[in-house]
Amino acid sequence: MSAITGTTKLLGVIGDPVEHSLSPLMQNAAIAQIGVDFVYLPFPVKAENLETAIAGLKAIGVHGFNITIPHKQTIIPLLADRSDIAQSVGAVNTVWRTEKGWYGTNTDVEGFLAPLLAKKPDWQETEAVILGNGGAARAVVAGCSQLKCQKIHTIGRNWEKLQQFQESWQTAAIPVDIQIHLWEELPELLPYTGLLVNTTPIGMSPHTDASPIDATQMQWLPPNAIAYDLIYTPRPTKFLQIASSQGLIAIDGLEMLVQQGASALRRWLRQDVPVSTMRNTLQEHLAAKSQHPS
């Protein structure tokens, strides 16, 4: 990292907790590679201190920052404005300074899309099935809508939550028509599913033996289907191990993490950023951690 001096500009991430955030590692690796006079820091901010912290970040001239749990929604009233994507997703993960105040957007959608667009350009014939209807599923719905997927199905375990999820998309800045289902209906959808996305935490470390669907159900997918797991620890998850063993295309959550960060850094620096440095830094870190879990 280049020396921090009196002219160094500040970037960072606010959250509670932020101790485990991989963003400082990835962003500072990119900043060092480019050689710009910035540093990216973790800022632990409790929910009750959010407003004070945002005013403080403005007062000390912070250039821009990421937002993680639990502030992705609660920061919205503290912003001067936000993008249509952030409004539709209902969450902000990236903020920068404007003359009117903080402007927020959501780069998770771009992060989710990057590895899919690298696979094929045309998704209009593809039916997408999204497992889970929480925060990350919102970025996935927005992404599938941008891909113009033929149908977007969301699977959940609570019918009321599913209905609220569906309704929220009807009134979003960028409305999306989705179909909602309980898990029991999943087997009927699988033979038509070109893209199956796991947005639940099932299979996340330390519950690495769990998978949202089993090997038998995975066999019902068409042979060219893509299985996409937003989880990035472990690599691969059980879900993706099953998918790969059946010859399906498997994508894990690391690229989404890298690309949402790259998209944020591009906006702050207004220049191209070294995505491969960010990816390699995280891959090496996660590989070392899986060898020596703390």
Residues tagged active-site:
72
The answer to whether 55 touches 99, Cβ cutoff 8 Å, is: no
Distance CA 99, CA 224 (A): 49
158 scored as a contact of ligand NAP (CB under 6 A): yes
Write the binding mask 257 to 276 for ligand NAP: x where contact by CB under 6 A, - elsewhere: x--x----------------
Using the rule CB under 6 A, is 136 a contact of ligand NAP?
A: yes
Burial of 77 (0-12, 13-18, 19+ CB in 10 A): exposed
Which among 279, 265, 256 has a CA at the least distance from the CA of 12?
Answer: 265
Q: Is the Cβ–Cβ distance between 23 and 278 less than 8 Å? A: no
Site for ligand NAP in 209-248 (CB under 6 A): 230-232
Q: Does 40 bind ligand NAP (CB under 6 A)?
A: no
Q: Taking the complex as a whole, how short is the minimal distance between the CB of residue 230 and ligand NAP, in angstroms? A: 4
Judged by CB under 6 A, the stretch of 16-24, 78-86, 130-138, 286-294 that binds ligand NAP is: 130-138
180 binds ligand NAP (CB under 6 A): no
CB neighbour list of residue 71: distance below 8 Å, 6 or more residues apart: 14, 15, 16, 45, 47, 50
Residue of 253, 263, 265, 277 interacting with ligand NAP (CB under 6 A) = 253
By CB under 6 A, residue 189 contacts ligand NAP: no
The pair phi, psi for residue 77, each rounded to 5°, is: -65, -15
135 binds ligand NAP (CB under 6 A): yes
